[in-house]
């Protein structure tokens, strides 16, 4: 544990690690206070593309936790950054929520429903047959297919709901084209996070509750890995994977010695 506490930077998943629904998880306040007190660099990183960093900040504030907006990074921001470097000034047909639209707009990507360069899909409750048809036709006409993340399902206040990959799947199946996914476990998002923190991978730890996104992303990016049991993965389920986290904790409060 002392080796973990000596790390300079921490990249933390959010849902299942920091909160569940609209409830802050035990030990989180103490963990964040410890991060600030010890002058650690930290980033709350989420695959969910629907919300902006400001909205995530406000959500935590509503739960009684104050964290500066610069400590949040989403797959929407990662997708916008990726496209702005790959194809500056490109256009896209977008299926997603305002967090994704805002990120793309700020990166200078043009929304285009006629002849887009890309079709980009993220989480949204506004998903229907017309969306699938338009996306399918654009991809068949040559648009490249991008998914903000590979999550098949995600948590909500009403239980599990379809996430990004479930929304991309009909377009992949009908066109025969595989999407490129930007978010975790793609190391691209992790490397950007490390650059934002200003630390080397050897000096940082990835903390998450999912083996198939958080832990594998940390392993493939060279970070120390910490699985917390406060989210979706149980201790028994860890045995199903060919890789393991270095440390397993009940929650992030254990890091601060709560």
Of these residues, 13, 151, 209, 214, which one is catalytic? 13
Q: Which helix (H) or strand (E) holds 207?
A: strand 204-208
- Give the span between the Cα atoms of 78 and 186, in whole angstroms: 10
Q: Round to whole Å and give the CA distance between 221 and 185.
A: 9
Judge whether 15 counts as a catalytic residue: yes
Structure tokens at 157: 């206040």
Out of 15, 151, 224, 254, the active site residue is 15
CA angle 10, 157, 160 (to 5 degrees): 85
Q: Give 109's DSSP letter.
A: P
Could you tell me where the DSSP H helices lie in 113-206? 129-140, 164-175, 187-197
- Which residues are within 8 A (CB) of 21 and not within 5 positions of it... i.e. 6 or more apart? 155, 156, 157
- On whether the CB atoms of residues 184 and 47 are closer than 8 A, the answer is yes
Bridging pattern class, strands 153-156 and 159-162: antiparallel
User: Cβ neighbours of residue 18 under 8 Å, at least 6 residues apart?
Assistant: 12, 24, 25, 28, 44, 60, 65, 252
CA distance 253 to 205: 15
Tokens linked to 44: 């709350």
Read off the DSSP letter of residue 8: S
Which residue numbers are catalytic?
A: 13, 15
């Amino acid at each position: 544990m002392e080796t973990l506490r000596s790390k300079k930077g921490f990249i933390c998943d959010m849902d299942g690690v920091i909160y569940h629904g609209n409830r802050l998880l035990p030990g989180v306040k103490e963990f964040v206070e410890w991060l600030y007190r010890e002058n650690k660099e930290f980033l709350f990183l989420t695959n969910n593309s629907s919300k902006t960093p400001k909205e995530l900040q406000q959500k935590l504030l509503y739960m009684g936790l104050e964290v500066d907006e610069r400590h949040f990074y989403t797959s929407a921001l990662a997708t916008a950054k990726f496209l702005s470097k790959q194809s500056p000034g490109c256009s896209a047909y977008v299926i997603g929520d305002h967090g994704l639209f805002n990120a793309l707009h700020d990166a200078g990507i043009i929304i285009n429903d006629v002849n887009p360069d890309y079709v980009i899909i993220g989480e949204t409750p506004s998903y229907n047959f017309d969306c699938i048809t338009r996306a399918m036709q654009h991809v068949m006409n040559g648009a490249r297919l991008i998914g903000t993340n590979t999550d098949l399902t995600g948590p909500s206040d009403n239980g599990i709901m379809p996430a990004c990959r479930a929304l991309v799947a009909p377009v992949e199946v009908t066109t025969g084209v595989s999407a490129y996914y930007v978010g975790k476990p793609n190391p691209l998002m992790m490397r950007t996070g490390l650059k934002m923190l200003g630390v080397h991978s050897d000096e940082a730890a990835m903390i998450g509750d999912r083996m198939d996104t958080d832990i594998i992303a940390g392993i493939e990016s060279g970070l120390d890995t910490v699985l917390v049991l406060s989210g979706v993965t149980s201790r028994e389920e860890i045995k199903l994977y060919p890789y393991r986290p270095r440390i397993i904790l009940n929650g992030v409060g254990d890091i601060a010695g709560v």
